[in-house]
Amino acid sequence: MLRHLLELGYEHIYMAGGANDGIDHRRWIGAQRICGEPLFQERRARLEFVPLGRSREVRENRYREIVRQAPFRRKTAFFFTSDSLAMEAMGIFAKWGVRIPQDAGVAGFDNSFNAVHFSIPPLTTIHQDIREKGRIAVEELIRVFRDPAYVPQSVNLPVSLVKRRSV
């Protein structure tokens, strides 16, 4: 996703998630790999993690701060660690007059049903195969129940970019 945002000319990219822990932290670590790539260096891009908080009230306050501080004069994008956070932010940004994608790009992660059918504009996102993810999780859980000494394996599944109109 970050490569795509850079290719579109975005210079300041906020990666935003509930907190810098768990899956949000793992996605942030993965995102930081782009910083060493020539395209990132050529653009003099900035990548920043924004912990949004777990409650909607806390997140709304963070969005308000972001809208006040974000350098919208530069090409700015927000990459959220989930589609639900991206869509929530899009709604709040719209209330405060931030137009997507004219003023800021917004992208998510999950390719959720809501992102496909209810996002305005349609949300650019990362697709992951949730069924496969669930199947593997159940297999690992069954192995743990059958053999308490078994150590569950970490599995990285492929993802793909779904280009829509929010960036």
| 141 domain residue, yes or no | no
Place of tokens 């949300």: 123
CATH of the domain at 87: 3.40.50.2300
How many domains are contained in the chain?
1
**pLDDT interval class at 102 (50, 70, 90):** very high
- Give the rounded percent of residues in the chain with a pLDDT score beyond 90: 55
Give the structural domain span for 108. Answer: 2-129
**What does the DSSP assignment read for 48-109?**
EEEE--SSHHHHHHHHHHHHHHS-TTS-EEEEESSHHHHHHHHHHHHHTT--TTTT-EEE-S
| 60 domain residue, yes or no | yes
| 61 domain residue, yes or no | yes
Q: How far is CA 97 from the centre of its chain?
A: 22
Q: What is the pLDDT of residues 8-50, one digit of tens each?
A: 999 889 999 987 677 888 888 888 888 888 888 887 888 888 8
